C-alpha cells in the first residue's frame, strides 16, 4: 500500500523564496506589533491599517517563486500519498504543484465575510479596497486566522496528521499554538518524524526523530532522496 506522508510546514519553507520568517531579525514582527495588524481587535479598531498590512504582503508575494524545498515536497507525490498542512498564508505549495494542502492560518489571496466563512472570494495578489463587500452587503476581511482566533481547520489537520505513516516538519519553530501541538497527533510512537530546519528545535515526542539541520531548499531534496531510497529497501 502507498505510504502516507504528512508534511507540516511553517514560514521557514518559504524563507528560501525570499519571504522572511516572522521571528528572524529582518522578519515582519521586527517592524510591526502583532496587536496592531494581526488581531480581531485591530481589525475592529483600525481596519485600514490591517487591510493595508495584508495588501503589502500580497504585493510582496508578486514574483515570488516556489523553491527547491516546495518542489521536493510536491514531487514526493510521485511515490507517496502526500498531504501538506501549512501554517503559511502564501500560495507557494500550490505553485510548486502540491495537490492536497490544508492552510491552517488562512490564505493571503482570499477575502471572507467579517462574521464568518459563508462567502470566500479569491482576489489573487491585488489590493483589497477598504469598502469591498460580500454579495450580502457585509464587509470583507482578509481570509486569515488572526492571533487569538480559533483555528477552524485544526481538527481536520489533526486527523490528517493522525493518518500519517511518516511525518515531516519543515521550517517551523513550533512556537505558535495550537498549530505546534499538531505533532502530538501522530498515530503512535513508531511513526518516524523528520525535521528540516537549520535551528535546534524543542520538540517533545517519543517518536524516532531525524533532524536535518539545513535550509529547506537544501534539506528537503536530501530528505526526499532518503525517503525514495527507503522505498526500495
Cite the active site residues: 105
Does 199 bind ligand NAD (CB under 6 A)? Our answer is: yes
The x, y and z cell numbers of residue 138, run together, are: 457585509
Count of alpha carbons within 13 angstroms of residue 102, beta-carbon side: 21
Q: Which is closer to ligand NAD, CB of 15 or CB of 43? A: 15
DSSP H helix total and E strand total for the chain: 8, 9
Q: Report the 3 state secondary structure along 48-81.
A: HHHHHHHHHHHHHHCCCCCCHHHHHHHHHHHCCE
Closest approach, Cβ 206 to ligand NAD, in A, equals: 21
C-alpha to C-alpha distance for 77 and 172, rounded to whole angstroms: 22
Window 112-151: contact mask with ligand NAD (x via CB under 6 A): ----------------------------------------
As given in the structure block, the three cell numbers for residue 215 are: 535550509
Query: Which CB sits closer to ligand NAD, 8 or 80?
Result: 8
What value does the CA radius of gyration of the chain take, rounded to a whole number of Å?
A: 18
- 198 contributes a contact to ligand NAD by CB under 6 A: yes
Tell which one of 42, 71, 80, 88 touches ligand NAD (CB under 6 A): 88
Asked whether position 12 contacts ligand NAD by CB under 6 A, the answer is yes
Instruction: State the number of binding residues for ligand NAD (CB under 6 A).
Output: 25
User: In terms of DSSP bridges, do strands 101-103 and 81-86 run parallel, antiparallel, or are they unpaired?
Assistant: parallel
User: In the Cβ-directed half-sphere of 128, how many Cα atoms lie within 13 Å?
Assistant: 31
Could you say whether residue 53 binds ligand NAD (CB under 6 A)?
no
Separation CA 66–CA 109 (nearest Å): 16
Which residue lies nearer to ligand NAD by CB, 134 or 215? 215
Closest CB to ligand NAD among residues 134, 143: 143
Q: How far is the CB of 153 from ligand NAD (least distance, A)?
A: 12
**Residues near ligand NAD (CB under 6 A):** 10-12, 14-16, 19, 21-23, 87-90, 105, 171-173, 175-176, 197-199, 215-216
Amino acid at each position: 500500500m502507498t505510504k502516507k506522508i504528512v508534511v507540516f510546514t511553517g514560514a521557514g519553507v518559504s524563507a528560501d523564496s525570499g519571504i522572511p520568517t516572522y521571528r528572524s531579525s529582518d522578519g515582519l514582527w521586527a517592524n510591526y506589533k502583532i496587536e496592531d495588524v494581526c488581531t480581531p481587535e485591530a481589525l475592529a479598531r483600525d481596519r485600514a491599517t490591517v487591510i493595508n498590512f495584508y495588501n503589502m504582503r500580497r504585493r510582496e508575494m508578486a514574483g515570488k517563486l516556489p523553491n527547491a524545498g516546495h518542489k521536493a515536497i510536491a514531487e514526493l507525490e510521485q511515490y507517496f500519498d502526500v498531504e501538506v498542512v501549512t501554517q503559511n498564508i502564501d500560495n507557494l505549495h500550490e505553485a510548486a504543484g502540491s495537490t492536497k494542502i490544508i492552510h491552517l492560518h488562512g490564505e493571503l489571496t482570499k477575502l471572507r465575510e467579517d462574521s464568518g466563512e459563508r462567502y470566500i472570494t479569491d482576489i489573487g495578489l491585488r489590493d483589497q479596497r477598504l469598502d469591498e463587500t460580500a454579495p450580502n452587503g457585509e464587509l470583507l476581511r482578509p481570509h486569515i486566522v488572526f492571533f487569538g482566533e480559533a483555528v477552524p481547520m485544526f481538527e481536520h489537520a489533526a486527523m490528517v496528521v493522525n493518518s500519517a505513516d511518516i511525518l515531516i516538519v519543515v521550517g517551523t519553530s513550533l512556537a505558535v499554538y495550537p498549530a505546534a501541538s499538531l505533532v502530538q497527533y501522530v498515530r503512535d510512537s513508531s511513526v518516524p518524524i523528520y525535521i528540516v530546519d537549520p535551528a535546534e528545535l524543542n520538540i517533545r515526542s517519543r517518536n524516532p526523530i531525524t533532524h536535518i539541520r539545513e535550509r529547506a531548499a537544501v534539506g528537503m531534496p536530501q530528505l526526499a532522496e532518503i525517503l525514495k531510497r527507503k522505498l526500495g529497501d
